[in-house]
Structure 1
Amino acid sequence: MRSLMVLWHPPDAPMVKLNTDEAFSTSTMEAREGGLVRGCNGGLLRAFCSPVAASSSFEAELMALIRGFEMAMEFSTRIWIELDSAALVTLLSSGQLGSADLRLHMALIRSMTSQRQVRFSHIYREGNRAADFLAGRGSRPLP
């Protein structure tokens, strides 16, 4: 069996890096989001965690990405977005809007990224532990 070392890498200046994640319970239909923006030295610029009203884990991922992207835009117009959802990275890189229930979120993301230099990439969950931790911390009950 081959092993793979998974590491988080900081972005090159003046880019910032956004990592987001979600936590979704299919039994309770509760969703949480978390994420962080870091600079070229790896230092934390902004972080967030909170419950969100989402009907699926994929929708919660999109909502976390939107919230994190809004924060990242405060620091740079060059943003590297790194997610542990390979399916979402594929969708974002394709130019498609996805299924009908996700199109509003996808259209908003397309609009937000259109005037910026944005890079999307996948990272394994082990490299996205900080965002995963924050998503787990956003566990307050939904109103």
Structure 2
Amino acid sequence: MVLWHPPDAPWLKLNTDDAFSTSTMEAGEGGLVRGSDGGLLRAFCAPIAASSSFEAELLALIRGFEMAMELSTHIWIELDSAALVTLLSSGQLGAADFRHHMALIRSMTSQRHVRFSHIYREGNRAIDFLAGRGFRPLPLLTMIQSLRLGI
């Protein structure tokens, strides 16, 4: 069983995800920032313009990181994209198509204590839900109720 675990203080944990349809080229992003007690500090979901799932992952990470930076200098980024975690951990900028996004992320992380880790999709269900809702966001009350039910 894969579970999400809160970070130790003083860390915040940022989880982000994307949803991308290759047939319609629609993309959505979602993310949560939670504290060491597991409490929700920030959440987002929205449609985004992206050319691929990987770009959508990067854009979701950038938006979530901007929110987390307002709250702490100790940010643990946990993603269900093993490829992105590997790239972020390597110090490389990756493919030319995404270097501007990666350079921005590198710049954002340079003044903070940042950890990167992978979590399987099963442990990232709430964020997966938010990213899917990014295509067509639900009313806020419906979304909160769905998150509480773990859908």
Short-chain TM bin:
over 0.9
Whole-angstrom CA distance in 2 between matches of 1:56 and 1:138: 15
Q: The residue matched to 2:122 in structure 1 has which SS? A: helix
Q: Given residue 100 of structure 1, which amino acid in structure 2 is its aligned partner?
A: A
The alignment partner of 2:93 has SS state of coil
Q: Structure 1, residues 1-38: CA drift from partner, whole Å, max 9, x if none?
A: xxxx2110101111100000000000001110000000
Shift of 1:123: 0.2
Query: Match for residue 22 of structure 2?
Result: 26
Aligned residue for 1:35, secondary structure, equals strand
Measure the CA separation in 2 of the matches of 1:140 and 1:132: 14
- The percentage of aligned residue pairs carrying the same residue is 88
Matched, 1:127 2:126: no
**Deviation above 4 Å: which 4+ runs of structure 1?**
none
Note the residue ranges of structure 2 that are not aligned, 5 or more in a row. 138-151
1:38 aligns with 2:34: yes
Q: Looking at secondary structure, tell me which structure has more helix per residue.
A: 2
2:108 matched to 1:112? yes
* Paired residue total: 137
Structure 1 Cα separation of the partners of residues 27 and 46 of structure 2? 9
> Unaligned regions of 5+ residues in structure 1, if any?
none
- State the TM-score, normalized to the length of structure 1: 0.94
Aligned to 2:80: 84
Instruction: Tell me the residue number matched to 1:12.
Output: 8
Q: TM-score, normalised by structure 2?
A: 0.89
Task: Provide Cα deviations, 1:59-112, integer angstroms capped at 9, x if missing partner.
Answer: 000000000000001111000000000000000000000001000000000000
State the alpha-carbon separation in 2 of the partners of residues 16 and 75 from structure 1: 8
Once the 2 structures are TM-superposed, how far is the Cα of residue 41 of structure 1 from its aligned partner?
A: 0.3
SS in 1 for 2:32: strand
The one-letter code matched in structure 2 to 1:99 is A
2:51 matches 1:50: no
